[in-house]
Structure 1
Amino acid sequence: MKRFPTALKQTLRYAFVGLLGLSLLSSCKKDDPYDFKDTITADVNLINASPDATAARLYVDDVLRTPNGVNYGDASGYNKSFLGDQDVEIRSVSGEAVLASTHGQFDAYASYTYFLVGQNSGLGLVIVTDDLAAPSAGKAKIRFVNAAPNASNATLNNGSTVLVGPQNFRGIAPSTEVAAGSYTLTVASGLVRSATTTVNLESGKIYTVYAKGLIGTAGASAFGVGVFVNK
């Protein structure tokens, strides 16, 4: 009986040391927001679909998650972030100007794409929880997002064939599987058609296809189609 208190003290001492170690490890991770070792994470991606916006970067809880500036029509690709409730801001490359912001929940192993959309008078975000489940054999998976501010009831088409039904500005269509192969993609809004984009949709791969630009303009901001390879 005399040995029990000693054993109990040793057990409590080891438990305390273990908790202290976990506390120190947690503190280290908070001090280094880029240390993801032994940590379950989410992935974030920024697509700049605003023809008026300058190059942009994505911040999560004031931490830069997309190291390179993302120009109009480009994507950052996926970058890791911690889980939980997060404040998300899209800022100018200098980090001084906040272009758009939101708050969201990041879940374990989930992937999120943030579209910067709109014009200078009203920049905003379209947030997509990406569906990265593999498509069926011989298929590719696409998701269509309408990020063109003045394109209403926009459909995604392969030539004259409608692939995805109408979406208004900021609309996010469900993922759909299509046969792998070469596609000539256009977006139609009423009688107006965008410029075409030819892309080879590969078997087993996943794509986000989005309407971009402005109807009635020319040059870099012309009504068109953007494609991002998710996986």
Structure 2
Amino acid sequence: MKILKQALLILTLTATVLTSCNKADYLDIDAGDRIPLSAKVKFINARQSTVAVNFWDFTRKVTGTVLQRNTASPYLETQYGKVQFNLTEGTDPSYKASYIFGGSANFVQETNSASFAGPNGPIADFAHSLFTVKKKLTSTVNPNNIDSLILVYDDLSLPASGKAKIRFANFSPDAPKVDLSYASGSVLFSAVGYGTFGGQTVIPYTAGKAPAVIEGLSWKTLGPFKEVDAGSGINLLIKDNTNQTTIPLSNTALTGAVFENGKIYTIYLNGTLAGTPALTATIISHN
């Protein structure tokens, strides 16, 4: 399952952006008075390498400073629509990852008779997260690209009172399918494989094409959030989904975790079980 094919949303410039005027009205407004159109993207460095990175849309560097491993930028204004996002290391200009996202003006998916340039496209005035992660398999076509990029939409609607929202992703290339569970036993997300998010709608592919209709597919189902009780001192475990043994982490992010009332978080697993860097969990806040 190709990591980029997991995120199959391709939305761009539509009437959802121009809520108070149509296209002709918008073009008739003086350029200085137009509502600025841009996508909001949080860039997250979840790769294996400890070398800090920059993100680019086309040839414009978006991140003001380099992002260290397992850190995230604030939401930044970026190009929307059909966009090429690129990744570089430090001051090195060569791309370590480069992918085109988008290519449609509507919420559509690839079918057996039609395809598009790439997976989800950033939408003007929407919130997104773009993760850079270690490729599971190296590329023979472009061996310089050592990482992949995954773009998902962020549902930033607030949870109910007394609740927080979390989602969970597995970016460890040698980890099995895993569960994220409370130490007390109840499971939050089950059987999350490499390059996927817990509870997401998975896009099946046959001979490189997806079916015309995928039940449950929406912009909220690629990296879905789940409401949990807010609180402090929360202990979570990573378990092998097959044998339910606890997988040890090399850090303590899931021990005594704090999920604040009304806050939204992504938890992800990266690193390796049998290599360097070791397996870790990271919690990123969205609001």
TM-score bracket for this pair, using the shorter chain length: 0.7 to 0.9
Say how many residue pairs are matched.
Answer: 200
Greater strand fraction, Structure 1 or Structure 2: 1
- Contact kept? 1:58, 1:65, Cα under 8 Å: yes
Identity of aligned residues (%): 26
Q: Give the distance between the partners of 1:108 and 1:95, measured in 2 at CA.
A: 30
Deviation at 1:116, TM superposition (A): 1.2
- Contact kept? 1:46, 1:57, Cα under 8 Å: no
Q: Give the distance between the partners of 1:57 and 1:106, measured in 2 at CA.
A: 18
Moved over 6 A (4+): none
Q: Give the distance between the partners of 1:123 and 1:70, measured in 2 at CA.
A: 15
Deviation at 1:133, TM superposition (A): 1.2
Q: Give the distance between the partners of 2:94 and 2:39, measured in 1 at CA.
A: 25
Distance 1:114 1:228, change over 3 A: same
Partner of 1:106: 122
Deviation at 1:213, TM superposition (A): 1.0
- Contact kept? 2:162, 2:261, Cα under 8 Å: yes
Tell me the secondary structure at the aligned position of residue 84 of structure 1. Answer: coil
Deviation at 1:115, TM superposition (A): 1.3
> What one-letter code is carried by the residue in structure 1 that aligns with 2:286?
N
Confirm whether residue 227 of structure 1 aligns to residue 271 of structure 2. no
Q: Give the distance between the partners of 1:115 and 1:83, measured in 2 at CA.
A: 17
Deviation at 1:230, TM superposition (A): 0.6
Structure with higher Rg: it is 1
**Of 235, 238, 248, which residue of structure 2 is paired with 1:184?**
235
Greater helix fraction, Structure 1 or Structure 2: 1
Confirm whether residue 162 of structure 1 aligns to residue 187 of structure 2. yes
Tell me the secondary structure at the aligned position of residue 90 of structure 1. Answer: strand
Tell me the secondary structure at the aligned position of residue 72 of structure 2. Answer: coil
- Contact kept? 1:186, 1:225, Cα under 8 Å: no
Q: Give the distance between the partners of 1:53 and 1:127, measured in 2 at CA.
A: 21
Which one has more relative contact order, counting CA pairs under 8 Å at least 6 apart? 2
Deviation at 1:200, TM superposition (A): 0.6
> What one-letter code is carried by the residue in structure 2 that aligns with 1:230?
H
Query: Deviations for 1:10-51, whole angstroms, at most 9, x for unmatched residues?
Result: xxxxxxxxx8984xx48xxxxxxxxx9830321112211112
1:118-129 alignment to 2 at 5 Å?
A: 118=134, 121=138, 122-129=146-153
- Contact kept? 2:41, 2:128, Cα under 8 Å: yes
Deviation at 1:82, TM superposition (A): 3.2
Residue ranges of structure 2 left out of the alignment (5+ in a row): 1-26, 102-120, 139-145, 199-223
Partner of 1:194: 248
**Of 202, 210, 227, which residue of structure 1 is paired with 2:268?**
210
Q: Give the distance between the partners of 1:80 and 1:184, measured in 2 at CA.
A: 35
- Contact kept? 2:237, 2:246, Cα under 8 Å: no
RMSD: 2.4
- Contact kept? 1:157, 1:188, Cα under 8 Å: yes
